[in-house]
Amino acid sequence: MEIFPISLKLQQQPCLLVGGGHIAYRKALLLAKAGAIVDVLAPEIDANLLKLVQTSQGQYVAAAFSTDFPLKHYRLVIAATDQAQVNQAVFETCEAQNILVNSVDDPPHCRFMVPAMIDRSPLVISVASNGTSPVLSRQIRTQLESTIPHGMGKLAAFSGKWRSTVKAKIVNPDERRIFWEDLYASPFKEQVFNDNLAEAERLIELALSEWKTPKGEVYLVGAGPGDPELLTLKALRLMQQADVVIYDRLVSEPIMDLCRRDAEKIYVGKARSNHAVPQEGINALLVNYAKQGKRVCRLKGGDPFIFGRGGEEIEELFAAGVPFQVVPGITAASGCSAYAGIPLTHRDYAQSVRFLTGHLKEGSPELPWQELVYENQTLVLYMGLVGLEKICQRLIEHGQRADMPVALVSKGTTPEQKVVVGTLADIASQVSEHHIQAPTLTIIGEVVRLREQLQWQG
């Protein structure tokens, strides 16, 4: 994040615009709407801009900018001329005096940016691109405008009137957040939107009178194979309302960025022979946080019920009397094969698919080999990279063709996705050659041949 978004309170605060034309006028409109006192410094001034300056109780100074112009009492300065050298001089002078400064359409000479805004006062939403693409910011604003009801401003104002009352009744800030979330999910919001304020008052009073300390709950959420756009809507909603997020090694950073920003985040990732927290410890964390009244998101890569130990965790929650929800995720077999262009089933090549774990027990593969040697099925191995050579050998020993196609999909669905194709006879030797790293999914079967024709990603 290259910029830090803030919301400035500019009511009755002096702000300076350098420039008197239409560029300055556009910025002056925003400043005046925010309640600022707008001064303008320019040799000439547009008539509409002059009127706006006077309405804001500001002053017009009919002069060109000079480095000795007094700036110290201004909250911020905007250079809005059509002369690059003047805008640069304004920037350098403000920088020397630690004054917030913006040069219109000149990102290198900006200490702050003016974002694209959606005004639902007192609710204001801004979209910024660090000056790299203001047109894109405006397009996103347009998209958001169509999805955010105009009544949101009324809802924010109404809620503000009740804020101190709710704070006095519900002292714990975590509980207070849950109260507001539940209230906004109730008919209360629509009553405010429709100006039925008496009914809205009744509903919020009722909610306060019936308020009880909420019980903790655990959300067992599948985060999918890595691409954040593969999250389900329910997964995203629960991730953003959880008080605590307990996450695995396979949950990608972009997905973690979608969790509630102020949630407590606890890493319990497992790598081979390196468990940050043993499974028993994870189970205890889930139970303990839930019994503290927390909403806990147990975030797992892929799907929690496919080699994710989700069943073990909810058994523990059930035994402890902790409420829970399970949200399926796109498992790695489905996501990675799709992004690699390899259909797991195909009428001409595979009428069944089998998911297996490649983890070795005491260094020896423990798989039902005879059942796996079948021409028209696809085998998908999770966590099989370390034991890949032994697995390939065993399949060949039990009768599988040495030239059976195999694909390795490393870091599937992410920007770092890498796919290597070979055969049972040679795929293990390609791991080091192509620097394949975990997490890697192994796909064995004739369907792998289709990748050459169907690949579309990575």
Of 27, 248, 303, 411, the active-site residue reads 248
Active site residue 270: yes
Interior angle at CA 20, CA 14 and CA 22, nearest 5: 110
Q: Quick one: three-class SS letters along the chain?
A: CCCCCCCCCCCCCEEEEECCCHHHHHHHHHHHHCCCEEEEEECCCCHHHHHHHHHCCCCEEECCCCCCCCCCCCCEEEECCCCHHHHHHHHHHHHHCCCEEEECCCHHHCCCCCCEEEEECCEEEEECCCCCCHHHHHHHHHHHHCCCCCHHHHHHHHHHHHHHHHHHHCCCHHHHHHHHHHHHCCCHHHHHHCCCHHHHHHHHHHHHHCCCCCCCEEEEEECECCCHHHCCHHHHHHHHHCCEEEECCCCCHHHHCCCCCCCEEEECCEECCEECCCHHHHHHHHHHHHHCCCEEEEEECECCCCCCCHHHHHHHHHHHCCCEEEECCCCHHHHHHHHHCCCCCECCCECEEEEEECCCECCECCCCHHHHCCCCEEEEEECCCCCHHHHHHHHHHCCCCCCCEEEEEECCCCCCCEEEEEECCCHHHHHHHCCCCCCEEEEECHHHHHHHHHCCCC
Active site residue 265: no
Interatomic CA distance for residues 18 and 451, integer angstroms: 60
Interatomic CA distance for residues 81 and 103, integer angstroms: 9
Of 169, 265, 270, 390, the active-site residue reads 270
Interatomic CA distance for residues 30 and 45, integer angstroms: 17
| Residue in 277, 324, 326, 330 with CA at minimum distance from that of residue 303 | 330
Neighbours of 309 (CB within 10 A): 15
Active site residues: 248, 270
